[in-house]
Amino acid sequence: MKNEAIVALKKLLNSPKNIVIISHKNPDGDAIGSSLALGLYLKAKHHNISVIMPNDFPEFLKWMPDSDSILIYDYKTKICDEKIAAADLIFTLDFNALSRVDTMQHVLENAKADFVMIDHHQEPDDYARFTYSDTSICATAQMVFHFIEKMGDIHLLNKDIAENLYTGIMTDTGSFRFRSTTSTTHRVVAQLIDLGVDNAKVHQNVFDANSAQRMQLLGVALQNLNILPEYKTAYITLSQEELDAHSHKKGDTEGFVNYALSVKDVVFAVIFIEHKEEGIVKMSLRSTGDFSVNEFAKKHFNGGGHKNASGGRSELSLEETVSQFIRILQDYKTQLTNAK
């Protein structure tokens, strides 16, 4: 964000405003953590804040400070529409194209408020008056920390804000093990811990609150793990029937794809999850090193995201999608076998 934009935004935030904070459909830890942290910070500056998510978020994130204030658009559409219509500013976090908010897209496109984008995904759209975009930063939650720094308000950070930021950073870095985790990330996290974050408790709340059904579903996913050594690739499939048999809930498959990526010599991993009601197969793609799953997902599966972590989707059947994926891999064999 350029200095003139910082000055202009500071001026806008100097007096109370109606502010809406929105993140993407199927919000994850970074989406929830960054949104709640920004909301608590702006509340401390005496703004009227509404945090809105397009749809519900996983149970393992509902312990987070102020999470009970989140409005779910799917459940409270009229109230959310009124909040958006009355907003002076709309912050969009952890996404950079309005298509990522699904059924909220139309109402946002017709909103009269100025938009502020804070995001770390590639190729941002230009809908925002103020854009803070940095693909080198590991998590939008870390960007919110830096945003508060740019506003000169680090003194307003407290334990609740810090817990939300920590959760966002922790979840989007795979517990600080992804390559995007930098020395700056660790310095930010150190400051958050100094503010009172119990890092062991946060990890326990997020990762050690599994239902028996989720653990059994993980067992099914691992049984469905397929290794393609000639492509240094592994993939997992989960059918609608397998999800239903284990009482699948939102967030239950979070992180499953990383088990495929953890296999020795694998540099590319995908999980294919069938959603029959929507008529699609959702995909999470992960890679190590210099193989870009962002480019792969964008070119072949209507997706995108980060270089080493992206999403995609297919309108073919689960079996046809996997077959298509394997055919496409043939064009990437040299790239994958040489990947480091």
Rounded to 10 degrees, what is the CA torsion of 136, 141, 144, 145? Answer: -90
State whether residue 144 is helix, strand or coil.
Answer: helix
Q: In the chain, where are the structural domains located? A: 3-207, 212-337
The pLDDT value given to residue 340: 73
Q: Domain 212-337 classified CATH 3.40.470.10?
A: no
Fold observed for domain 3-207: inorganic pyrophosphatase (n-terminal core) (3.90.1640)
Tens digit of each residue's pLDDT (9 = 90 or more) over 162-205: 999 999 999 999 899 888 899 999 999 999 999 999 999 999 99
Which residue numbers in the chain have pLDDT < 70? none
The pLDDT value given to residue 33: 98
The pLDDT value given to residue 65: 98
Q: Which residues lie below 8 Å from residue 145, measured CB to CB, with a gap of 6+?
A: 37, 165, 188, 191, 192
The pLDDT value given to residue 251: 87
The pLDDT value given to residue 176: 93
The pLDDT value given to residue 339: 84
Nearest alpha carbon to residue 50 among 81, 13, 6, 12: 81
State whether residue 80 is helix, strand or coil.
Answer: helix
Tens digit of each residue's pLDDT (9 = 90 or more) over 109-144: 999 999 999 999 988 999 999 999 999 999 999 999
Nearest alpha carbon to residue 318 among 248, 239, 235, 233: 239
Whether 212-337 and 3-207 are alike in CATH topology: the answer is no
Residue 132 and residue 148: Cα distance in Å, rounded? 12
Query: Taking the model in full, what pTM does it have?
Result: 0.89
Rounded to 10 degrees, what is the CA torsion of 32, 198, 179, 215? Answer: -70
CB 196 within 8 A of CB 159: yes
The pLDDT value given to residue 186: 98
